[in-house]
Amino acid sequence: MNQEHFGFLDEYAKKEVRRATLKAVAIPGYQVPYSSREMPMGRGFGTGGLQLTLALIGRGETLKVIDQGSDDSVNAVNLRSFIEMTCPGIHTTIRTEQADLIQSRHRIPEKPLREDQLLVLQVPYPDALVVVEASEDRRKLLHGEADYSRLLVKLYEDIVKFSEITISHRYPTRINGHYVIDPSPIPRWDVPKLHNSPALILLGAGREKKIYAVPPYTQAEPLAFEDVPFRVEDFSDEHGQRRSCVRCGCNSSFLDEYVDSATGEQVYRCSDSDWCNQQLEQQQGVEQAVEVANG
Amino acid sequence: MDEVLSVRGLSKRYGQGCPACYELTGPRFETNLCPRCGSVVAAHDVSFSLYQGEILGIMGESGSGKSTAVKCLYFDEPPSAGSAEFFDQGEAYQLFDLNNAQQRRLANQRFGMVYQNPHLGLNFDISAGGNIAERLLMSNVDNYAQIRQRAISLLSRTEVLAERMDEMPRNFSGGMQQRVQIAKALATNPPLLFLDEVTTGLDLSVQAAILDLILEIQQQSRTSMIVVTHDLGVIRLLADRTLVMKYGRVIESGLTDQILEDPQHAYTQRLVASAL
Amino acid sequence: MKQQLVLSVEGYSKAFSLHEQGTVIPSAKDVNLQVYSASLTALVGPTGAGKSSILKGIYRTYLATSGQLFYTMQSGKRVDLVQADEHTILTLRRNEIGFVTQFLHFLPRQPTELVVAQPLIQRGRPVEEALAVARDMLAAMNLPRRLWSISPATFSGGEKQRVNLARGLVAKPRLLLLDEPTASLDPITCERVLRQIEELKKEGIAMLAIFHQPELVKRIADRVVELEPPLNGQTQLEDIA
């Protein structure tokens, strides 16, 4: 491994990513093309997010990498090791609040981000219009003119067929009143976190060679109808009771559904593992404190 | 009467073009094809005015340039030369000087187009109602219930059963597809409607019903229309005034009854004689 | 009532150039005549004298070969119908000049009463009101009530002619052109039509009409213009169109 270049990429490549990033921040939601270098892993494994992270992280800064909310999935572990190896002097963490830069696939952490934090999202398909227009030339025209009527027609057809909008992830979201982005495969649950986020959110698509941004405190409105508003996932059970995490008991987080292999029952757990752990720790802390008080 | 559209010297040429293109083509030479450079002069020097509530017929056989003229006006094709001014709500628009977004806004909101081929006018991947919704959404109507209501009233006006609004266009007969296309074109109450061979290929009884519908729309809404057809019967029934085109040129124009009863050009005389 | 000049035909000629046959067929030649308000000018003459050509020329169904057709509009403005642009002619047709031809042209699938009410509707009269006027006129024309709500497509020649007249007369144009208005009518209906024409005269309407029966001309015409077939002409002129 060539250790001369901090962050694996050569300086030109990093500068190009930074220039593209600046442009993306300057034009919220606009997909800025960049060259997207070959990385020592297959495209589609987060190379877009990785190049952003490598170009932006510096010595002494702290990194968190998550995949579907988890710090210890294979993909997250591999990316984290690679970044640690190629960026000597950085720290890593699994604690959301300790991270300066969070690279994520498919989730935005439950814990609200701060102005001094940066979220990098890995994006497989950057263009929200790809589902209604095959030609990139024509998509560019539609973006330029902010013509998203065909996406709205798709929502209309959804409501006609299913009486609700069925898009579960990659929900088309209008940034700063103009460009509609594909916010990466985050669940609907996370879409409102884009709106007026104190943290800068950068989105990188390695295979499609695009970088775009939701700058801090920028409007992000999911497309919807005036009378059929956007809704996040509903975690109510059949009695209208909010389901809670079987592990930590939290009833305000985004839940993953599992089948308990022993009982065959459906159970729900926090998707954000750090959040789940911190909830548990807090409870244990309270229990210990109670024990100490009672002791 | 208020002028809605003024077209001057509209030309459309396909190919590299040369100085002789316009001089060596047309009815006099019985060709659209420039003998020097091989370019196709689809339409040349087409001029006319259209007034509010008026139906203008453009008649000619295939290759006469009648559809080309309308496609240029609807921004489907850029013209090679000429100007067209559209007067709407106190504004005058030089159609060919507008940028894409302005052209698209006019095409979506102030013009309506009905093609002979419903596949050009309708999106077959979405329901009949969705097709109407698309035009309304382009005009920034973003209330689902309102869109549904408007689609129902447009479809019932064009005699498509409201119960069928959520079906795909491919489930409809040819006549029904044309009705859905007309409903879609009317969605935004456009003051100007282009109709390109809308009854061609339909059964006679279906043709008659579609023509009745067009007349009814014209009488109720005072919509200005340009009707492109090769069918003298359609011209006679719908058009107040008529342009006759051949080899890309307007060879004759006048009041429709005059064109039919006292045609001046040899071609029109032959056409009328063979039809009556 | 004071009679004012409404239409002055000056040196009007019409010839048809038939390209296919390579012939020119003269129809009307150097016709001069005047039509005044509150009066009827009758056109008489043998077949082929170009009587219909004159009416169609005034209505711009035919383009004149030469001459002028000066029409004084409601506004007092004088316009040459030969030169006037098409939109002016369309406006005049809608508001001022009516034409009862020998053949009824109507929109298919429209009930008779709506066919008759059309000129009023086009001028912006509410449909129900226009229909009421139309029904009165159909009654005056002696058309059986049971026919009012069906299309004239299947009517006999005489019935169609009554519908045609009713439509021309309800409009009450300033200038009414009539091409053999009574040709296919029975004596009773003919008498009713003549009475209607006399009514229109009283209302100040100027009329130019083609008649074949001398006794009708004598009774109803204020002026008579007799036409001769053009010299060196061909026969069957009027029927060409």
Which tens digits make up the pLDDT trace of A50-64?
999 999 999 999 999
End-to-end CA distance of chain A: 56
| CATH 3.40.50.300 correct for C1-96+174-241 | yes
Structure confidence at residue B208 as a pLDDT band (50, 70, 90)? confident
Chain A residues near residue B144 by CB distance under 8 angstroms: 156, 159, 225-228
Q: Tell me whether residue A136 is in a domain.
A: no
Nearest CB to A225: which of B127, B130, B143? B143
How confident is the model at residue C240, as a pLDDT?
Answer: 37
Going from the C-alpha of A18 to that of each of A194, A284, A290, C61, the distances in angstroms are 21, 43, 50, 74
Residues A189 and A217 in one domain: yes
Which pTM does this prediction carry?
A: 0.85
Residues A52 and A86 in one domain: yes
* Distance between CA atoms of residues B86 and B127, nearest Å: 32
Q: Tell me whether residue A3 is in a domain.
A: no
Q: Tell me whether residue A289 is in a domain.
A: yes
Residue that the structure tokens 């047709």 belong to: C93
Domain coordinates in residue numbering, chain B? 3-110+190-275, 117-189
Chain A residues near residue B138 by CB distance under 8 angstroms: 147, 149
Indicate if the alpha-carbon torsion angle B165, B171, B177, B179 is positive or negative.
Answer: negative
What are the start-end ranges of the E strands in chain A?
A: 32-33, 62-67, 91-92, 101-105, 118-122, 173-175, 180-181, 200-205, 210-214, 220-222, 255-259, 266-270
Chain A touched by B204 (CB under 8 Å): no
Instruction: Answer yes or no: do B212 and C109 touch at CB < 8 A.
Output: yes
Domain coordinates in residue numbering, chain C? 1-96+174-241, 104-172
Q: Tell me whether residue A145 is in a domain.
A: no
* Distance between CA atoms of residues C48 and C36, nearest Å: 25
Residues A59 and A123 in one domain: yes
How confident is the model at residue A211, as a pLDDT?
Answer: 98
Task: Chain C: give the shortest CA distance to residue B237, in Å.
Answer: 7
CB neighbourhood size of C147 (10 A):
18
In CATH, the architecture of B3-110+190-275 is 3-Layer(aba) Sandwich (3.40)
Residues A71 and A160 in one domain: yes
Assign residue A28 the CATH number of its domain.
3.40.50.11310
How confident is the model at residue A163, as a pLDDT?
Answer: 85
Instruction: Answer yes or no: do B219 and C121 touch at CB < 8 A.
Output: yes
* Distance between CA atoms of residues A45 and C225, nearest Å: 97
Cβ-proximal residues to C175 (8 Å cutoff; 6+ apart), any chain: C6, C7, C35, C58, C71, C96, C97, C98, C205, C206, C207, C208
Domain boundary among A190, A222, A254: A222
pLDDT at residue C235 greater than cutoff 70: no
ipTM: 0.89
Any chains having at least 3 CB pairs less than 8 A from chain A are B
Helix (H) or strand (E) holding A270: strand A266-270
Residues A244 and A211 in one domain: no
Residues A201 and A252 in one domain: no
Q: Tell me whether residue A201 is in a domain.
A: yes
Q: Tell me whether residue A133 is in a domain.
A: no
Structure confidence at residue C237 as a pLDDT band (50, 70, 90)? very low
| Amino acid letter, residue A257 | E
* Structure tokens, A209: 């060679």
pLDDT at residue B91 greater than cutoff 70: yes
How confident is the model at residue C236, as a pLDDT?
Answer: 39
- A touches C, CB cut-off 8 Å, minimum 3 pairs: no
Structure confidence at residue C213 as a pLDDT band (50, 70, 90)? confident
Per-residue burial over A8-35, b if 16 or more Cβ lie within 10 Å, else e, is bbeeebbebbeebbebbbebbbbbbebe
Chain B residues near residue C17 by CB distance under 8 angstroms: 264
* Nearest alpha carbon to residue A252 among A228, A281, A229, A232: A232
pLDDT at residue B151 greater than cutoff 50: yes
How confident is the model at residue A291, as a pLDDT?
Answer: 75
pLDDT digits (tens, 9 = 90+) for A227-284: 999 999 999 999 999 999 999 999 999 999 999 888 888 999 999 999 999 999 998 8
The residue of chain B nearest to residue C61, with distances taken between CA atoms, is: B258
pLDDT at residue A79 greater than cutoff 60: yes
| Strands of the sheet with A200-205, listed across from one edge | A32-33, A210-214, A200-205, A118-122, A101-105, A62-67, A91-92
How many domains, chain A? 2
CB B80 within 8 A of CB B12: yes
* Structure tokens, B200: 């061609």
* Nearest alpha carbon to residue B218 among B73, B50, B102: B50
Candidate from A58-72, A170-184, B153-167, C61-75 with smallest mean pLDDT:
B153-167
> In which domain, by residue range, is A276 found?
234-295
CB neighbourhood size of C209 (10 A):
25
Domain boundary among A222, A249, A269: A222
* Distance between CA atoms of residues A125 and A114, nearest Å: 27
* Distance between CA atoms of residues C37 and C2, nearest Å: 8
CB B230 within 8 A of CB B61: yes
